[in-house]
Amino acid sequence: MQGVNMKVPVSKCIELAAFSIRMFSKFPDNAVLVALAAGLQAASDDLWNAQSAYEGALRAMIPTRVDVKFENLVSDRRIRLTQQKVEIADGKKDGRIGKALFPEGSSPITRLLGQSQVDAMKDLEGRLEATVPLWSDATSEKADIKKHRENYKTAIDGRQSAEQKAQDLLALRDAAKDRFVTKYSQTQSLVEAEFPRDKPMQELFFDEVRTKSVQEKADTPEEQTPADGG
C-alpha cells in the first residue's frame, strides 16, 4: 500500500477516498470496514468542502485584480493629462507651474504601482493645493486627482481583502488536508490489522497514489497525432 502525504494533490486525495469507500461497500457485513468507510467519507467531504471554498476565493480575486489594473491605467492617464494642462498653462515644458507640480516629470508617479502610487498621488494633491495662487485650474485638478486616488485605493483594498480571505481559506484547507492524510493512514493501518498477513486483501482497498487524478489528466493537454496527410 502506498501512503499519502501533504504533497498529494487534493483531487487525488478525493479520488483515493472514493476508491476505498467503494471497495469497502463490497463488504457490507464487515462492521469494521463499514465504519472505516464512514470515517473516510467524512474526512473526504471535509476536504472537498474546504478545497471548494478555497478555489472560490481564488476565483473571487480575479475581479479585484481587474479593478486594480484598470484604476492604475486611468490614474496614470489622468496624471499625464494634468501635466499636459500645466504645460499649456506655462506655455512650455518645465515652466514655473510644471516645476512646482512635477519637479521630475510625471514618470516618477505613473511608473509606480498600488499603494506607492496612491501615496504619490496624495503628494501631488498637496502640491496642487499649494499651486492654487499660480494656477486657477489647480483646485479642479486636485479634486479630479483625488477622485482617481480614492478609486485606486478602493480597488487596492478590495484586492487585499480578497487575498487575505484566500489565505485564510488556504489555512483551513491545509488543516482539512492534514486531517484527511491522518485519517487515510489510520484507515490503512486498521485494514492491515483486519486482514493480517493477507497482502492481496490489504491492497484491495487502496488505489495507486502516484498516478494523476482525473482532474489533472483532464486539465493537461494530451499530445495529439495529426491525421494522415494533415
pLDDT tens digit sequence for 149-168 = 999 999 999 999 999 999 99
Does 109 fall in a domain?
yes
Rounded Cα distance, 154 and 70, in Å? 12
Does 230 fall in a domain?
no
Write the CA distances from 185 to 16, 128, 192, integer angstroms: 12, 66, 11
Does 227 fall in a domain?
no
- Comparison of pLDDT for 144 and 1, the residue scoring more: 144
Mean pLDDT of the chain: 95
Percentage, residues of the chain above pLDDT 70: 96
Does 76 fall in a domain?
yes
Is 203 within 8 Å of 42 (Cβ atoms)? no
Count of structural domains within the chain? 1
pLDDT at 2: 86
CB atoms within 10 A of CB 68: 20
Does 2 fall in a domain?
no
Does 97 fall in a domain?
yes
Find the largest Cα–Cα distance for the chain: 94
Residues near 15 by beta carbon (within 8 Å), at least 6 away in sequence: 207, 213, 214
- What is the separation of C-alpha 154 from the centre of its chain, rounded to a whole number of angstroms? 19
Does 205 fall in a domain?
yes
pLDDT at 230: 42
Mean pLDDT of 123-142: 97
Mean pLDDT of 117-125: 98
pLDDT tens digits for 189-225? 999 999 999 999 999 999 999 999 999 889 887 744 4
Q: Which three cell numbers stand for residue 123?
A: 503628494
Write the CA distances from 144 to 71, 116, 121, 122, integer angstroms: 13, 19, 11, 12
Sign of the torsion formed by the C-alpha atoms of 99, 104, 107 and 109: negative
Question: Could you tell me the residue range of the domain that residue 118 belongs to?
Answer: 10-215
Rounded Cα distance, 127 and 117, in Å? 15
Does 54 fall in a domain?
yes
